[in-house]
Amino acid sequence: MGLRLYNTLHKKTEDFKPKVKNTVGVYTCGLTVQGRPHVGHIRAALTRDIIVRWLEHLGYHVTSVENFTDIDDKVIEKQQESGKDWRMIAGTHIKEYMEACNTLNITEASFYPRASQHIEEIIELVKVLVDKGYAYENEGDVYFRVRAYKDYGKLSNKTIDELISGARIAPHETKEDPLDFALWKAAKPDEPYWFSPWGKGRPGWHIECSAMSKYHLRESCDIHTGGEDLIFPHHENEIAQSVAATGKEFFRYWLHTGWVTLGGEKMAKSTGHYFLISDILKDYDYAPNAGNVVRLYLLKTQYRNQIEFSKERLDEAKSAYSRIDDFMSQFHDLERTEKPLREDAFTEAMNDDLNTPKALGVIFDLVSTGYETKDENERKKIASSVKHYLNVLGFREKAERPFKELTDVLEDVLQKLPEEKKSRLFTAVAKTFLANFVSNIRDEQDFFPIMLNLLLFMKDELRREKNYEMADYIKKRITEKGILVQDKKIEHL
Ligand SMILES: [Zn+2]
């Protein structure tokens, strides 16, 4: 049995078949950049990561695209509230998001387009829709004529009659019909704008993804993913616009990531009801391990199901991860295995709509057997298999902790500090840390947390002395090694 995916469009699990042989295009609706990324955003990115990893494992050549909606109503609202330019707001939040993704070892997408970089394609697409009679202009706004598209509501399972009962035209809107949605919005005073055939304005949210997916994936619009809250209206509108413009099928498979809930409610920045990824990482040891713990925690639930966020379950994930890690740390220089144990069970789980909890079950079973087995060869075989599967599921290897690279960073930083500062810092460091740590060292890898703490300590000391330049330099160098660093006091936008 090959890969099967649950397709929201047909409400059933279907065999996966790409449009172009051996090549798969995956598009993910990414962050709208008005706020800091929370666990819900990272979970959606993790769904893309797992799909891409598994497709590549199956031998497909994958192109993946994750967009940033850097211009829309909410971002403009944020600009007006904060007085900061929308580009700066976008830049800050995108950077934080990318750092959090890096900590969780989330595969980089092939492209990360921003809506503001694709205005030309967006205008072209709106023009086609106007020419074909699917859209109309009114006082500088352009709307999509929902009733002109006969399949509207298929994805979200809604009928026009159901939709019309709740629809209203807001006082500032110039629509013909309450169901219609904006493709292009005339600029109000003090809003960012671009020139278009309909005057100064900016794109609506939905059209951005239709234009960017087509631009980057062309004939390979195979899998479209995003949070389940995007099914309606965002994804419904994407399909309507794209099919109306091209007359062809848009994406074939629509996959939706379940919410992360908190006290039963969806985690959302609009309500202030959320955990940042940095909030949860800071309690879990140094970064490479923390990323693995959070990855395990999220993968213990299949992507489609909701997760109720809880500290207890996160703690359980930490223990579970330590059990694997302790077992694996008994082995050095494991060879990559061509034929891992229990491969059929693992493959069957992943091919069954990316059932990661089942796949993790295979790993835990192997680890349990490994603990009980006496035969050294057998134990090695088990460890190699576990290593193989951890790799497939995107866990960072323990050996990847960049201890040696941090040593380079430390040397570099020390060279930049004056002599008397160095000796003062070292005395403080020695008193605070080294005495506690030395007794815990078993091998070279155990120096990693010491080295990291040493650098973080120096950074905080320098910040306290208002030497922000040097403190930021240390932070930058550590971040480059794939480690998420938080300053103690976080400056909010
Ligand atoms: Zn989108």
Q: How far apart are the CA of 203 and the centre of ligand 1, in A?
A: 13
Q: How far apart are the CA of 30 and the centre of ligand 1, in A?
A: 7
pLDDT for the residue 154: 95
| Total Cβ atoms within 10 A of residue 322 | 14
Q: How far apart are the CA of 322 and the centre of ligand 1, in A?
A: 37
Q: Is the peptide bond before 233 cis (omega within 30 degrees of 0)?
A: yes
Q: How far apart are the CA of 69 and the centre of ligand 1, in A?
A: 8
What pTM value is reported for the model?
A: 0.82
Q: How far apart are the CA of 234 and the centre of ligand 1, in A?
A: 7
Secondary structure letter of residue 439 according to DSSP: G
| Total Cβ atoms within 10 A of residue 157 | 12
Asked whether the beta carbons of 475 and 457 are under 8 A apart, the reply is: no
Confidence band, pLDDT 50/70/90 cuts, at residue 490 = very low
Q: What are the start-end ranges of the H helices in 402-441?
A: 403-416, 419-429, 435-437
Task: Give the mean pLDDT of the chain.
Answer: 88
Question: Above pLDDT 70, what percent of the chain?
Answer: 90
Question: Above pLDDT 90, what percent of the chain?
Answer: 59
Domains in the chain and their CATH numbers?
A: 19-260 (3.40.50.620), 282-400 (1.20.120.640), 403-480 (no CATH)
User: What CA–CA distance (Å, rounded) separates 39 from 473?
Assistant: 27
Q: How far apart are the CA of 280 and the centre of ligand 1, in A?
A: 27
The 3 state secondary structure assigned to 257-298 is: ECCEEECCEECECCCCECCEHHHHHCCCCCHHHHHHHHHHHH
Q: How far apart are the CA of 342 and the centre of ligand 1, in A?
A: 38
Q: How far apart are the CA of 306 and the centre of ligand 1, in A?
A: 20
pLDDT in tens, 386-436: 999 999 999 988 645 566 677 788 888 888 888 777 777 777 666 656 555
Q: How far apart are the CA of 283 and the centre of ligand 1, in A?
A: 33
Secondary structure letter of residue 193 according to DSSP: -
Asked whether the beta carbons of 370 and 387 are under 8 A apart, the reply is: no
| Average pLDDT score over residue span 215-231 | 95
Q: How far apart are the CA of 226 and the centre of ligand 1, in A?
A: 7
pLDDT in tens, 126-155: 999 999 999 999 999 999 999 999 999 999
| Average pLDDT score over residue span 305-332 | 90
Q: How far apart are the CA of 73 and the centre of ligand 1, in A?
A: 15
Q: How far apart are the CA of 313 and the centre of ligand 1, in A?
A: 31
